[in-house]
Structure 1
Amino acid sequence: MKICMMTNTYLPHVGGVARSVSTFAEEYKKLGNKVLVIAPNFDGAAVPKKQEAIVERVAAIQNFNGSDFSVRLPLATALSDRIDLFEADIIHAHHPFLLGDTALRVAAGKNVPVIFTHHTRYEDYVHYVPYDSPALKKAAVNLSTEFANLCDGVIAPSESLARLIRRRGVKAPIAVVPTGIDVKSFAKGNGARFRKKFKIPANAFVVGHIGRLAPEKNLAYLAESVALALKKIPNSRFLVVGGGPDEEKLRGVFQKHGIEPQLTMAGKHTGRSLHDAYRAMDIFAFSSFSETQGMVIAEAMAAGLPVVALNASGVREVVQHGVNGYLLPERTPSRTFAAHIIKLHGNRTLLKKFSKAASKTSLNFSREHCAELALAFYEKIRQDTRRQRLVDHLTPLGTVMNRISIEWEILARNARTLTTAIAS
């Protein structure tokens, strides 16, 4: 199968969507499929030639509105020769705007099905747009829902998100397919090597967190909770891996508590270094409400880490309270969250029990299994849409009318979103 994936974020950007696209691309190729990724240019470390060989880059604005995202310039990519020559069987959009619109146009012009992965709750990210407001959040919900209904099929990374978007009005067929992880690699990380590099004592109790350090991640709460715990645990550290606009806010919480030396900000890591980072931790702490899948939690569990987290979308599918960690109510006070970290530190038998269960849980999220689920959904959508695509192909004006219809729907949707934004 020839699969063209269009995404607004990709390597070397470090984030959930970029990692999801690259993971599936690698697995699809391993299974004998051909893959083309359309993505914006990004500042940062060079992508290995083998990974970059399947990528067609488009011009983009870097660090949009203070974020670490690139925003594709309007009309920065037309139907390039590479897309034409690729002759995709499936177009897979990973965002409901920018290159998402391009995906709809390409699919309509090529008369092939388009799949959309609803990676996130987009209303949680409107703070990156000027004049954030409840009306804009509603516009973000409507935009992603309408986009999903212009597609032939939708992938939800978790059952929680699948239920949510159905309630919001998504009528297109939905499949639940998490982003797979390399279970074996995370299990084999060298934690001692990472601790030595960042001068963390070998016998220290390390609470860890990995992810983008951004407002939607509820990091002020997490930092407060972990700081309260570490003040009660001798020889302890908070190891934070990642980067983003909220890095200084996180430091500020530890400064306030007078324990900044117990905070290790390790920056962004990928590949073997990321695997080592997980293994350098004793437990994993997580408090985000904006996740649609618990990818970093699954990775942590593959490294054998019990998880202390808040009950939220994408998290509850991975963390089993009292089995592989603690899944605490949404409005849990910071002191209660801290108490559960302290409890795990004080009970090594329980810590070991949770660790073993976490490793077992991670097997449900192997990248091989998840890629097979996605490919099966592709094939189902291809079969379900085959008759209509054949009619369009045989009708001289079929494909043209389909393209006109898509253009009209995109224009109408964007007009509604713009009206809502202006009204707000």
Structure 2
Amino acid sequence: MNGVVRTYERLSIELAALGVEMSVIGPEEFRTLPCPTYPEIRLAMPGMQRFAQRFEALKPDAVHIATEGPIGWMARRYCLKRGIRFTTSFHTRFPQYLSQRFAVPENWTLSLLRRFHNAGAGLMVATPSLARELEANGFEHVMPWTRGVDTDLFHPRDIRLFGDGPVFLYVGRVSTEKNIGAFLNLDLPGRKVVVGGGPQLDELRARYPDVTFTGKRTGEELAQCYASADVFVFPSRTDTFGIVLLEAMASGLPVAALPVCGPRDIVIDGVSGILSEDLRTAALSAQRLDRDIVRASVAHYSWENAARLFLANITDACLTGEARACARRNLPSPMAASRTPVRQQPRATH
């Protein structure tokens, strides 16, 4: 359970409404091994024969490689060998994560990822600042692909699960790369609440007995947690987007975050949140923001628009002939307005 998985689960639903079938070749179809230091994540061990059988049974019109894991590399190899165009997406800052966990130099991982993605016909990224960063590091064919939020589920409510005092909330994976300690070490009034599971959960529970750790919450329970808080604190320096930011703001919850990629693309400083390297000051100041305005700031983020943009990218990069014409019929005129370019100057076509 993470932002990447949730994105593709919702994408499948929205694409179906557009007449598009999304089939997934995922880890559950292969033998898996636990990821070193992160056993909750299982790494697939796919064989080319098994992969080829699944691929040929599906006969897809277009291919998108979601992540750079073992299946992703297998799909890349298969497509390149057969001259099949494909798109990829950049969800995770593996160079920073591997550097933190295993002291692998970032430029080594960056070089590997550049090789992986540049072989494709398009690289989808969630924010303009990430697009600029990747292009500056030699990544090619960058395409915008935003995210959405369910404003029917996430909305303000008259509920206080964690008491009446100021409640400062974190939602997400409880793991080293999320920089949660930067939040837990802040000198703040009231109560700190952490919602989520992960490999650091037991360790942080023992280290911070005054913090409320709820474990993983989903659906209505998660929505109630957001609505019960006063400020959403997002300490991560490495997230490429942060769907939890949209969920918090849709709940009327102002954000306190660092001025880094992700928050600075989503949060309007001084309106829907406070961005500052001084996270304590940001958290205290965010309490004064108007919650109705905070919620209104995410009104344009919809999963339908995200799906239409994904389909438009696939169509431009991969489809030809009848398949392209069919996809275009599923892209009504509102699609054009939602396709915000990642940069203003013209970019090469592909």
TM-score calculated relative to the size of structure 1: 0.70
Amino acid at match of 2:181: A
Distance 1:73 1:217, change over 3 A: same
Counterpart CA distance in 2 for 1:87 and 1:104 is 16
**Are 2:326 and 1:372 equivalent residues in the alignment?**
no
Q: After superposition, where does 1:251-270 map in structure 2 within 5 Å? A: 251=205, 254-255=208-209, 260=210, 263-270=211-218
Amino acid at match of 2:23: L
Q: Which has the higher helix share?
A: 1
Corresponding residue for residue 23 of structure 1:
10
Give per-residue Cα distances to partners, 1:299-324, cap 9 Å, x unaligned: 11111110011111111011122111
Counterpart CA distance in 2 for 1:133 and 1:205 is 38
Q: After superposition, where does 1:146-225 map in structure 2 within 5 Å? A: 146-171=115-140, 173-187=141-155, 192=159, 195=161, 200-201=162-163, 203-225=164-186
Distance 1:127 1:134, change over 3 A: closer
**Are 2:250 and 1:294 equivalent residues in the alignment?**
no
Shift in Å at residue 338 of structure 1? 2.3
Structure 2 counterpart of 1:102, from 71, 74, 79: 74
Q: After superposition, where does 1:378-417 map in structure 2 within 5 Å? A: 378-383=314-319
Corresponding residue for residue 145 of structure 1:
114
Amino acid at match of 1:299: E
Shift in Å at residue 67 of structure 1? 4.1
Corresponding residue for residue 273 of structure 2:
325
Amino acid at match of 1:360: A
Distance 1:87 1:144, change over 3 A: same
Contact 1:223 1:253 in 2 (8 A): no
Deviates more, 1:358-367 or 1:302-311: 358-367
| Runs of 4+ with >4 A deviation | none
Corresponding residue for residue 118 of structure 1:
90
Shift in Å at residue 277 of structure 1? 2.0
Amino acid at match of 1:379: T
Contact 2:154 2:250 in 1 (8 A): yes
Distance 1:327 1:344, change over 3 A: closer
Q: Secondary structure in 2 aligned to 1:37? A: coil
Shift in Å at residue 254 of structure 1? 3.2
Amino acid at match of 1:316: R
Shift in Å at residue 270 of structure 1? 1.9
Over the aligned positions, Cα root-mean-square deviation in angstroms equals: 2.3
Structure 2 unaligned residues grouped into runs of 5+: 322-350
Q: After superposition, where does 1:209-288 map in structure 2 within 5 Å? A: 209-225=170-186, 228-230=187-189, 236-251=190-205, 254-255=208-209, 260=210, 263-288=211-236
TM-score calculated relative to the size of structure 2: 0.84
Amino acid at match of 1:152: A
Counterpart CA distance in 1 for 2:56 and 2:114 is 29
Identity over the aligned pairs, expressed in percent? 27
Shift in Å at residue 76 of structure 1? 7.7
Counterpart CA distance in 1 for 2:222 and 2:280 is 25
**Are 2:42 and 1:70 equivalent residues in the alignment?**
yes
Distance 1:146 1:67, change over 3 A: same
Shift in Å at residue 287 of structure 1? 1.0
Count, aligned residues: 321
Shift in Å at residue 35 of structure 1? 1.0
Shift in Å at residue 169 of structure 1? 0.7
Q: Secondary structure in 2 aligned to 1:207? A: strand
Counterpart CA distance in 1 for 2:100 and 2:64 is 25
Q: Secondary structure in 2 aligned to 1:316? A: helix
Contact 1:223 1:250 in 2 (8 A): no
Corresponding residue for residue 342 of structure 1:
284
Distance 1:344 1:70, change over 3 A: same
- From the CA coordinates, give the structure whose radius of gyration is larger: 1
Contact 1:229 1:338 in 2 (8 A): yes
Structure 1 unaligned residues grouped into runs of 5+: 1-13, 42-56, 231-235, 387-424
